[in-house]
Amino acid sequence: MVVPSLQCMDSLSSDELKANGSEVVASSAGRGKSPKSEGKEEGPGGGKREKEKEKEKEKAKKGGEPECCSPRPPGTQRRCSARIQTKQRAEKELLVRRRVELLDNGDGVTSTGKRRNVGGRGKSGGESAGKEGPEVEESEVEAVGGAEIVGISVEPASAGSGVQRESQVAAGGDNVAPMVEKSDFAKVKETLRLFNKHYLHFVQEEEKRCNKEKAENSKGSQKPKSKSKSKEQQKGSKQSKTNSKKGNSTGDTKKLAMRPDLKAITKMLETNGVLHPKKRFGNIPGINVGHQFYSRAEMVVVGFHSHWLNGIDYMGQAYRKEYSNYTFPVAVAIVLSGMYEDDQDNADDVVYTGQGGHNLTGDKRQIRDQVLERGNLALKNCIDQNVPVRVIRGHESRTSYCGKVYTYDGLYKVVTYWAEKGISGYTVFKFRLRRMPGQPMLTTNQVQFVYGRVPNSVSEIRGLVCKDITGGEEAIPIPATNLVDDPPVPPSGFTYIKTIQVSKNIILPAASTGCKCRGGCIDPRICLCATLNGSDFPYVQRDGGRLIEAKDVVYECGPNCGCGPDCVNRVSQRGIKYRLEVFRAPRKGWAVRSWDFIPSGAPVCEYIGILNRAEDMDNASENNFIFDIDCLQTMRGLGGRERRSRDASSETVDHMGKHDDQKSEIPEYCIDAGSVGNIARFINHSCEPNLFVQCVLSSHQDIKLARVVLFAADNIPPLQELTYDYGYALDSVFGPDGKVKRMPCYCGAADCRKRLF
């Protein structure tokens, strides 16, 4: 990288500044970033609190600056003047004191502390706390830390479903972790993220196994891996199956997961990670009509359809005790995937073929008569007892990485059933289902995405204001649309670049020696770069490379490595591969979305701009596009960026050996995308983001100069706005006058903090 020529901040015209300013709330809004996570400091347990207090004092002594990280809020000084710093310190100390006082007052203490632990910026009370008072108050409470404790101990008696209460009891009944109830939506999201993490882990395991086999094959005789091989495998797997059943194992032929999705389900079950392990009638909280699943396994882990294989999910006799007035089995959900030759799907009116008698392999036709039992009986019982059934439709979808998308289409009533001779001449049971009224319109008759239709070409785009904001820089053009302004204007005031420009007064460290792998890095035990990542590659190969989970730092292969550009450990270096669009959003300014499906863990883009010394940017008070490189801020739980724990940071220090923990607490460098930058400068903040920030080192190993790359935190359907958490703590931003600055948040998330800062 490196382009010495530099556009100075001052070169921004006043118009441009104004333009940026107006966007503030929106796009850049957050760019400013958070002086430190207040929340984190308000740590749990008394001892820790003491420590924090001490730390605070220590910092004050040192005249420590606020630890800024990433984007800076508009109109504020990223690094504050000494006067403001003093004021901030004083305020913090006051906070600490107040907190201690509150804690000393006794009750509620425990709950408070623990709850903060949920993560600083804490998803605010949702149904419970959220409705207690006006939003502002809620924020205040949040900001003041201790005070909120009092509010939180309130029993959410009036709020939430029984389930919520139940889980609350489960979580906090033992006085251990009375947490603020997250929105159901957030819980679903969290569960899916955990599932994806497990999934990618098992994908990696599987890839390792394949690589090993390949290596062994190429080492040994060139016996083509052919039928004989697969037969051997078959034998092996059969053996292992019987072995496992018998409970002993010969070990040698044990086959690893060919189905990482299923392995991930097992893992989720083992770790009690499944969201609603008990089956239930009707809607599942947090999953609205139109929700999209990207595999059958996803439905299992959120408790939406409890088997990855069966079409009909039903409650069996085991539920008799709990619901004594019902006759079981009773169906709760069905998947329409067009597997049955006799299915008819007319959106609101469905004729569903019962289960059984199906040729599981081969031509997938009926080969036996169906019987009125199991799922079939369960559907019949639904008619008699008027129980609605969740209907999920499976669609082939080229845009989905897995080739299939499952959409929740709402509750249906089973109206009638009958038996008839099917197309193949065998008896099949048919069930007529009718969609219940009062639900959102069906969006999935033919397809696909609740957000709208993806354009096929630039000419189809409504409100096009710029065909390619990159001016040909990126391999894939990025159009801009504006259906908000009148007259519509394109984004302006910046020059598009796709690689970092380095300020004149910065000398990048020399490139590290790199690994000696040839062609591509395969064996993580041999590859030096993999060693830095804890002896494993951070990515899997699947889908063009996906990051398995957020890490403090990702070490990629660099210019001096022996591997080629296709190496699995260079995933973030391949540029933008999705068709992105910049669009004008009401109230939010410019925003970014993708026309393509983005699988979780896939790199979306790097934050590009001018690499500058942070101290040199002190005067750029109106620049909203500054991203402080602070690798001590990292992802914790994907929900946002959070101050890394002491332990974690020391681990990393061990790793890297030479990094001075103390020093790196203050970001020395920043990326300024004010005048020049790439698509990342348009990405908005959200309190429930679908991207996360990941520091990546590839050409050198200086953590202070890490690259900042945005990765997908979830499976992101086409046309969903891309967002990441700017990570501000509330009341953490001060204006030039020393007063707390506030910025409303318009992200619209269920757990929105209402204020960006």
Partner DNA sequence: CTGACTCAGGAGTAT
Partner DNA sequence: ACTCCTGAGTCAGCC
Q: Does 335 bind DNA (CB under 7 A)?
A: yes
Q: How far is the CB of 265 from DNA (least distance, A)?
A: 6
Chain centroid offset of residue 444 CA: 24
Comparison of 361 and 386: residue with beta carbon closer to DNA = 361
Contact 528, 516 (CB under 8 A): yes
Of 77-85, 116-124, 229-237, 280-288: span binding DNA (CB under 7 A): 229-237
* Cβ-based neighbours of 415, under 8 Å, separated by 6 or more: 383, 432, 433, 434
SS3 at position 238: helix
Q: How far is the CB of 203 from DNA (least distance, A)?
A: 8
Q: How far is the CB of 200 from DNA (least distance, A)?
A: 11
- C-alpha span between 137 and 318 (Å, rounded): 47
Q: How far is the CB of 278 from DNA (least distance, A)?
A: 10
Of 66-74, 253-261, 527-535, 577-585: span binding DNA (CB under 7 A): 253-261
Give strand ranges (E) for 482-624: 495-496, 501-502, 539-540, 546-547, 554-555, 580-585, 589-594, 603-606, 610-613
Comparison of 371 and 528: residue with beta carbon closer to DNA = 371
Comparison of 24 and 405: residue with beta carbon closer to DNA = 405
Q: Which of 159, 151, 163, 161 is nearest to 115 (CA)?
A: 151
Q: Does 457 bind DNA (CB under 7 A)?
A: no
Contact 639, 726 (CB under 8 A): no
Site for DNA in 513-532 (CB under 7 A): none
Q: Which of 32, 74, 16, 75 is nearest to 491 (CA)?
A: 16
Q: Tokens standing for 351?
A: 């004729």
Measured torsion, CA atoms of residues 662, 664, 668, 669, in degrees rounded to the nearest 10: -170
| Cis peptide preceding 317, ω within 30 of 0 | no
Site for DNA in 389-418 (CB under 7 A): 394, 402, 404
- C-alpha span between 350 and 311 (Å, rounded): 14
Of 17-25, 29-37, 97-105, 351-359: span binding DNA (CB under 7 A): 351-359
Site string for DNA, 550-589 (x = CB under 7 A): ----------------------------------------
- C-alpha span between 493 and 509 (Å, rounded): 31
Q: How far is the CB of 295 from DNA (least distance, A)?
A: 3
Of 73-81, 250-258, 583-591, 749-757: span binding DNA (CB under 7 A): 250-258
From 18, 241, 434, 613, residue interacting with DNA (rule: CB under 7 A): 241
Q: How far is the CB of 396 from DNA (least distance, A)?
A: 10
Comparison of 402 and 478: residue with beta carbon closer to DNA = 402
Q: Does 363 bind DNA (CB under 7 A)?
A: yes
Q: Which of 28, 78, 26, 39 is nearest to 641 (CA)?
A: 39
Of 38-46, 119-127, 353-361, 581-589: span binding DNA (CB under 7 A): 353-361
Q: Report in angstroms the alpha-carbon separations of 691 from 138, 494, 556, 599.
A: 26, 24, 20, 11
From 23, 42, 67, 206, residue interacting with DNA (rule: CB under 7 A): 206
Q: Does 362 bind DNA (CB under 7 A)?
A: yes
Number of H helices and number of E strands within the chain?
17, 28
Q: Does 265 bind DNA (CB under 7 A)?
A: yes
Residues in the chain: 757
- Helix/strand/coil percent split, the chain, to 5: 30, 20, 50
**How many residues in the shown chain lie near DNA by CB under 7 A?**
58
Comparison of 125 and 354: residue with beta carbon closer to DNA = 354
From 114, 374, 380, 643, residue interacting with DNA (rule: CB under 7 A): 374
Comparison of 104 and 363: residue with beta carbon closer to DNA = 363
From 185, 304, 314, 578, residue interacting with DNA (rule: CB under 7 A): 314
- C-alpha span between 177 and 459 (Å, rounded): 54
Chain residues binding DNA by CB under 7 A are 206, 210, 225-227, 229-230, 234, 237-238, 240-241, 245, 255, 257-263, 265-266, 269, 277, 279, 295-297, 306-311, 314-318, 328-329, 335, 337, 339, 355-358, 360-363, 374-375, 394, 402, 404
